[in-house]
């Protein structure tokens, strides 16, 4: 899960990209980068850290040009210190840079093909650099001295034939324009918009529509699964084409549960409304399976679960209260490496308001339960604040399998629900009772706004992977890369590695 943006304008785009990345900061807090193009030259600033810390005024002054792309990153299969920042760049052909959100499931095979067949060198362990080189090779295969929309679409079609996994990407070709494309399953989100200026129409592509809104762009639509969008460098041409042979909608349902901002529209579904319906479905389950409940108050775990918790409380006819104050300067604990750091961050991030807990039977609502670290700590805090009983509800089903499409869900052994029943998970996190959302209810909560969404990637709940290329060997290898011990080891090894691609 990362955030990407691309802008083609008629004046400098550095500020627009900076602002868009700041809006998308929730999608990645590990690294940030901006690359712009001006008069045939590229200008780059990227590093580990938040957008505001990586890109300062002195860097903005050097990011020249009316066309550019940007990226915010969270580590897909590594620790927060070892992520490769983006965008990446190759000089052949023409000079192409790329920002990518997702994860390629056949990256190892592609890396081998690039070396042996395509004669291309990969400088990092990032699958995003692999995707860039595949795209660049497919552009080169067109054999042209100039690039047009047809060449770009042919290259994307070649990418779809070779690449497996999840990818929403934006590529910038020096002197020609920006190409944005989405994998044939549409696992990761991507949309585009336009705005009228005195100098002409400007275009933006973004992971989420909220970035378009905040910068005054009118959302045109989502990029369809397998589709590509070409925007010429002068902004006079916008062309789209379906480049996949058998595209289908199978977006990651966790975008609606947790990752996306509630004010975003993804595949014609307003995330806020989807979360309201999640709360309604969860309330229906409680009334169906626990009609004599003794819940006094519903309290959300800020921020993502607020919408679902509010609607759940309304449907139950129970008081809704804000029981935790949040320190907004602590990052998302979901993506932090190591149990100790996560536990410490939970305590620093949330502080209970005893007035809302003392002597009450409390239903805490969260968007999901992954490791259980955060849930257990929050339940303990609720009891210490004076709650008589602490119940827990998850707006998502039990997470029992790793995600392979760009979400750093940990090794199976670190998932609290793996191999445990609902009652056993409740005992493990210290809850008096636990209620999970049913998968069918979750899917319907999203699908009701867009019936075209016949399928979703729900692999972390079911173990069924929409790309059909995931086997036990792949998951075992992933487990060795993603467990906490491996991340801590990489931290120690890579703290001293120079950032080969960074230009200050």
Residue positions in the annotated binding site? 304, 366-367
Q: Are residues 241 and 180 in contact, defined by beta-carbon separation less than 8 angstroms?
A: no
- Only one residue has tokens 């670190």, namely 414
Query: Which among 478, 332, 460, 491 is positioned nearest to 398, based on CA atoms?
Result: 460
ω into 87 cis (within 30 of 0)? yes
Q: Is 2 a catalytic residue?
A: yes
- Only one residue has tokens 């600033």, namely 45
Pairing relationship of beta strands 191-197 and 31-38 according to DSSP bridges: unpaired
Residue 138 class from Cβ within 10 Å (0-12 exposed, 13-18 middle, 19+ buried)? buried
**Which residues fall in the annotated binding site for Mg(2+)?**
304, 366-367
Query: Which among 185, 205, 267, 165 is positioned nearest to 71, based on CA atoms?
Result: 205
Rg of the chain, C-alpha, whole Å: 23
Active-site position among 2, 37, 243, 252: 2
Residue 467 class from Cβ within 10 Å (0-12 exposed, 13-18 middle, 19+ buried)? buried
Cα 9 to the center of its chain, rounded Å: 26
- Only one residue has tokens 């906490």, namely 484
- Only one residue has tokens 């467990």, namely 483
- The residues, any chain, with a CB within 8 Å of residue 476's CB and separated by 6 or more, are none
Kindly provide the residue ranges of all beta strands, DSSP E only, lying in 66-139, ordered along the sequence. Answer: 67-73, 88-90, 96-104
Sheet holding 165-173, edge to edge: 88-90, 96-104, 165-173, 177-182, 227-232, 238-242
β-pair partners for 182: 168
336 is written with which tokens? Answer: 């932090």
Report how far residue 174's alpha carbon sits from residue 252's, in angstroms, rounded to the nearest whole number.
32
- The neighbour count for residue 30, using CB atoms within 10 Å, is 24
Pairing relationship of beta strands 67-73 and 96-104 according to DSSP bridges: unpaired
Report how far residue 449's alpha carbon sits from residue 268's, in angstroms, rounded to the nearest whole number.
7
Q: Are residues 27 and 1 in contact, defined by beta-carbon separation less than 8 angstroms?
A: yes
Query: Which among 367, 417, 358 is positioned nearest to 392, based on CA atoms?
Result: 367
β-pair partners for 202: 195
Percent of residues in the chain assigned helix, strand, coil, to nearest 5: 35, 25, 40
b/e burial code for range 335-357 (CB count within 10 A of at least 16 → b): bbbbeebbbebbeebbebeeebb
Residues labelled catalytic:
2
């Amino acid at each position: 899960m990362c955030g990407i943006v691309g802008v083609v304008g008629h004046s400098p785009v550095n500020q627009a990209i900076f602002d868009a990345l700041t809006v998308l900061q929730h999608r990645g807090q590990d690294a940030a980068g901006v690359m712009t193009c001006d008069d045939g030259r590229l200008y780059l600033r990227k590093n580990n850290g938040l957008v505001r810390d990586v890109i300062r005024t002195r860097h903005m002054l050097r990011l020249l040009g009316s066309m550019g792309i940007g990226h915010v990153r969270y580590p897909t299969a590594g620790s927060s210190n070892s992520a490769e920042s983006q965008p990446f760049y190759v000089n052949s052909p023409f000079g192409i840079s790329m920002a990518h959100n997702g994860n390629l499931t056949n990256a190892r095979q592609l890396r081998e093909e690039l070396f042996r067949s395509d004669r291309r060198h990969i400088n990092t362990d990032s699958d995003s650099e692999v995707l860039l080189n595949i795209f660049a090779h497919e552009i080169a295969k067109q054999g042209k001295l100039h690039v047009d929309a047809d060449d770009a679409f042919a290259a994307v079609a070649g990418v779809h034939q070779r690449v497996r996994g999840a990818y929403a990407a934006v590529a910038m070709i020096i002197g020609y324009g920006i190409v944005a494309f989405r994998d044939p399953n549409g696992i990761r989100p991507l949309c585009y918009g336009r705005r009228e200026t005195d100098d002409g129409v400007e275009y933006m592509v973004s992971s989420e529509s909220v970035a378009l809104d905040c910068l005054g762009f009118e959302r045109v639509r989502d990029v369809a699964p397998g589709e590509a969008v070409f925007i010429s460098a002068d902004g006079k041409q916008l062309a789209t084409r379906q480049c996949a042979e058998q595209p289908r909608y199978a977006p990651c349902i966790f975008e609606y549960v947790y990752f996306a901002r509630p004010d975003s529209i993804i595949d014609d579904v307003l995330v806020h409304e989807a979360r309201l319906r999640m709360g309604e479905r969860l309330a229906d389950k409680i009334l169906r399976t626990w009609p004599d409940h003794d819940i006094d108050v519903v309290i959300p775990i800020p921020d993502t679960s607020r919408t679902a918790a509010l609607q759940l409380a309304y449907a139950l006819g129970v008081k809704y209260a804000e029981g935790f104050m949040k320190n907004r300067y602590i990052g998302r604990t979901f993506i932090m490496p190591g149990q100790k750091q996560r536990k410490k961050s939970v305590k620093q991030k949330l502080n209970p308001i005893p007035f809302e807990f003392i002597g009450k039977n409390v239903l805490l609502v969260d968007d999901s339960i992954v490791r259980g670290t955060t849930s257990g700590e929050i339940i303990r805090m609720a009891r210490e604040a004076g709650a008589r009983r602490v119940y827990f509800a998850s707006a998502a089903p039990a997470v029992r399998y790793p995600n392979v499409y760009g979400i750093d869900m940990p090794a199976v052994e670190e998932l609290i629900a793996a191999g445990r029943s609902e009652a056993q998970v409740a005992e493990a996190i210290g809850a008096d009772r636990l209620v999970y959302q049913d998968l069918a209810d979750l899917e319907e909560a999203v699908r009701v706004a867009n019936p075209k969404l016949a399928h979703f990637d729900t692999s972390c709940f079911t173990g069924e992977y929409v790309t059909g290329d995931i086997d036990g060997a792949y998951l075992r290898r992933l487990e060795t890369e993603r467990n906490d011990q491996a991340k801590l080891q990489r931290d120690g090894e890579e703290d001293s590695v120079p950032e080969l691609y960074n230009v200050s």
